[in-house]
Structure 1
Amino acid sequence: MEPERVRNPNIRDVARLAGVSYQTVSRVLNDSPRIKDSTRQRVLEVISEVGYRPNQAARALVTSRSRTIGVLAAQSAHYGPTTALYAIEVAAREAGYRLSITSTSSGDYASIRASLDYLMSQSIEALVVIAPQARVYDAIAELSIGVPFVTLESSGRDIGHSISVDQTSGARLAIRHLIELGHTEIVHIAGPQDWIEAESRMQGYLQEMTEAELRLRAPVLGDWTAHFGYYAGLELLRYQDFTAIFTANDHMALGLMHACRDSGLDVPGDISIVGFDDVPEAVHFSPPLTTVRQNFADIGRRAVSILMAELSGDGDADHAPIPADLVVRASTAPPRPGAIAGF
């Protein structure tokens, strides 16, 4: 014999216990100004006591609002996009919204169109786009999006619909730190060529080196992985005509540190290394990694804040880029005299 299932409380249960009509409970749930404060408080207390959870689908039918934010994300397991997505979910929940998330496996027009059609079928009220490749935003620009939207990208192509950490300025902080330590021969291991953040960080490297009138080297194009950082490091260290390396993310910095150890070199005694992102593990690298920190929680809050402002008709949302911070740890130091073995 199956045990009797316990029924979840419904809106009529709340009304009966609060001594009001179920219409009054509905008005409380929908923040109606026509409800007296004492009645509102009594209903809210009963809701809390019995653990009542409103049926979101039913509420959407009554209010014509889904309280849903759509998220279009490129498939990625990287720290930045996944952390930003979590921050957006938290900020949306605090604002009384839930997320409907779909990912696009490629940046082609048909895939993005299909993903947007799916989100629109969920009656989303607003949209966040988290996609690292430039081609995704090129496709988005060609589509007519009928709800407020914000993109998390740093190219500056559509400032009125974007929010991001200032990637270029963050990279410049990293290079300036190395220059101030006395490094003049600095290599950059970049991210993939079609990633917006990789391009912005590369531009930061080139701009800061140019302003300091230091020798520019062609950046090494990587793929974000520690595996690439390791093998690129082994190749670069065969010549060792530099004293510092700026990697476009922390995972490539990790592989590079491994290559330095296998080559019998000390970090930072022989080579100083700076990463980007400040992944949680960076403080536990050996040595702890100097890196550029992005505040992904702030990105999520700001993205949702922009959407809430647009939904309420407020056109004064803040789209200014979020500053990056340099976190100095033990992987950087002044160059040792005679450290460049190739000269």
Structure 2
Amino acid sequence: MAHRRSASGGVTRKPATIYDIAHEAGVSHQSVSRFMRGIDQRSATRAKIERALETLEYKPNLTARSLVTGRSHRLGALTHEIDQVGPSQVLQGASSAARDAGYLLDIVALDMGNAGEIARALEVLLQHDLAGVVALASTDEMRGAITQLSLDAPVLLFSEQEEDEVAGPSDLNGVPLAMEHLLSLGHRDFAHIAGPPTWSAARNRRLAYEHLVRVEGLSSVGVVEADWSAASGYRAMRELLSRGRPTAVVAANDQMALGAMLALSEAGLDVPGDVSVTGLDDAPDAAFFSPPLTTVRVDFRARGRRAVHDLLHGIGAPEVVDDSPEPLTLIARRSTAPPRPAAGPPRRTHSDGL
């Protein structure tokens, strides 16, 4: 294979051409060209070319490939709130799946509070010829904005399915796992820090909490809505403590659980001695909270990969690689323990607020 010397003096490999591939495989360059265009080959010829591609570490030129096949190999991703653990990991999975299938993923983060910014962001995205767009919609506002779009490319709306009381929590809802763990430890007095009500995931997690409180005949200090942040979890926990003292708190994500644990500590309560706390999502830092947080691991990256898979399948792309999310998993750490024996009625606490 041809090589060239880099500016730093090192030797680097020149990109392989179809002639290099043909020579390595022992076939004609016409056979390689037909292979690149997706035209069927005899299995023996196809196997030779595939081995040569791997040996030469061939990287396709997507622009040239699009000109040859007449199909774009760029995808668009519309999202928002990428500072949140779930959306950011979904994007990582989507980007990885697109890359594995031979596509580039152009990511546009929308500011849902600014209609002008949304329009400008879409103008940037639409400058490219796209094979399809996956819209990662977590909130009602995002879904509303996407449904009003007029795009030439196929659009896949990927969002968490709304659950209802009749059917009960689905297998994708992690709250039941967290509460079953707490029930197994002997807890009966609960509280819930919910996410923002415009998020379908937050509504689903709250529905699961209230469903299990009712079905299991549990005592609930109440539910306080927050905004996924640690600061909002802190404020929510202080409000819950003003109503009474549960022995177990189920936070709808790990960041809010972190804020809740600080509020409990400032109130003179030990975690998990006085109050057990669980989170949800298994954020990268959850194992390093003080104490390490019991949580439910959600395979967000596989959900992102699945979104791209569904988009590619919908547009008839042959490069589809299926990938299903792993089941939810409870990660038991040191923020949960059996409740202490009751010494009388629950102690009420008061605070001045944040």
TM range (shorter): 0.7 to 0.9
Q: Distance in 1 between matches of 2:312 and 2:180?
A: 37
Name the Cα RMSD after superposition.
Answer: 3.6
Q: Distance in 2 between matches of 1:123 and 1:194?
A: 32
| Aligned residue in 1 for 2:80 | 74
CA contact (8 A) 2:258 2:289 kept: yes
CA contact (8 A) 1:88 1:300 kept: yes
Q: Indicate yes or no: 2:36 matched with 1:32.
A: no
Q: Residues 1-343 of structure 1: matches in 2 within 5 Å?
A: 8-9=14-15, 11=17, 14=20, 17=23, 23-33=30-40, 35-36=41-42, 40=46, 43-44=49-50, 47-48=53-54, 50-106=56-112, 111-112=117-118, 114-156=120-162, 166=170, 169-237=173-241, 240-312=244-316, 324-338=328-342, 340-342=346-348
| Aligned AA (2:237) | G
| Aligned AA (1:302) | R
Q: Write out per-residue CA displacement over residues 157-201 of structure 1, whole angstroms, 9 at most, x where no aligned residue.
A: 9xxxxxxx9587322332343334332321111122322222221
Q: Write out per-residue CA displacement over residues 27-84 of structure 1, whole angstroms, 9 at most, x where no aligned residue.
A: 2223321x45555555555555555433211211221111222111114211111111
CA contact (8 A) 1:167 1:197 kept: no
CA contact (8 A) 2:241 2:348 kept: no
Q: Distance in 2 between matches of 1:107 and 1:154?
A: 21
Q: Distance in 2 between matches of 1:305 and 1:166?
A: 22
The structure-2 alpha-carbon separation of the partners of 1:308 and 1:9, relative to structure 1 and needing over 3 Å to count, comes to: closer
Q: Distance in 2 between matches of 1:266 and 1:175?
A: 20
Q: Distance in 1 between matches of 2:241 and 2:189?
A: 13
The structure-2 alpha-carbon separation of the partners of 1:284 and 1:137, relative to structure 1 and needing over 3 Å to count, comes to: same
Secondary structure of 1:129's match? strand
The structure-2 alpha-carbon separation of the partners of 1:112 and 1:200, relative to structure 1 and needing over 3 Å to count, comes to: farther
Q: Distance in 1 between matches of 2:246 and 2:58?
A: 64
| Aligned AA (1:82) | S
CA contact (8 A) 2:81 2:87 kept: no
The structure-2 alpha-carbon separation of the partners of 1:75 and 1:260, relative to structure 1 and needing over 3 Å to count, comes to: closer
| Aligned residue in 1 for 2:166 | none
Q: CA deviation at 1:229?
A: 2.5
Secondary structure of 2:280's match? strand
Q: CA deviation at 1:113?
A: 5.2
The structure-2 alpha-carbon separation of the partners of 1:306 and 1:15, relative to structure 1 and needing over 3 Å to count, comes to: closer
| Aligned AA (1:53) | K
Identity among equivalent positions (%) equals: 38
The structure-2 alpha-carbon separation of the partners of 1:268 and 1:11, relative to structure 1 and needing over 3 Å to count, comes to: same
Q: Distance in 1 between matches of 2:279 and 2:12?
A: 54
Q: Distance in 1 between matches of 2:161 and 2:341?
A: 39
Q: Normalising to structure 1: TM-score of the pair?
A: 0.80
Q: CA deviation at 1:294?
A: 0.8
| Aligned AA (2:157) | T
The structure with more helix, counted as a fraction of residues: 1
Q: Distance in 2 between matches of 1:44 and 1:171?
A: 46
CA contact (8 A) 2:73 2:102 kept: yes
CA contact (8 A) 1:209 1:216 kept: yes
Q: Distance in 1 between matches of 2:115 and 2:161?
A: 20
Count of matched residue positions in the alignment of Structure 1 and Structure 2? 332
Q: Distance in 1 between matches of 2:158 and 2:107?
A: 15
CA contact (8 A) 1:67 1:98 kept: yes
| Aligned AA (1:27) | R
Q: Unpaired segments of 5 or more residues in structure 2?
A: 1-5, 164-168, 350-354
Q: CA deviation at 1:321?
A: 9.4
CA contact (8 A) 2:18 2:33 kept: no
Q: Distance in 2 between matches of 1:91 and 1:320?
A: 12
Q: Normalising to structure 2: TM-score of the pair?
A: 0.78
Q: Unpaired segments of 5 or more residues in structure 1?
A: 158-164
Q: Distance in 2 between matches of 1:66 and 1:267?
A: 54
Q: Write out per-residue CA displacement over residues 217-237 of structure 1, whole angstroms, 9 at most, x where no aligned residue.
A: 542121222223234434544
Q: Distance in 1 between matches of 2:15 and 2:334?
A: 57
**Deviates most, 229-238 or 333-342:** 229-238
Q: Distance in 2 between matches of 1:185 and 1:258?
A: 20
Q: Write out per-residue CA displacement over residues 226-271 of structure 1, whole angstroms, 9 at most, x where no aligned residue.
A: 2232344345445642211111110111122223333332211100
| Aligned residue in 2 for 1:161 | none
CA contact (8 A) 1:11 1:22 kept: no
Q: CA deviation at 1:277?
A: 0.5
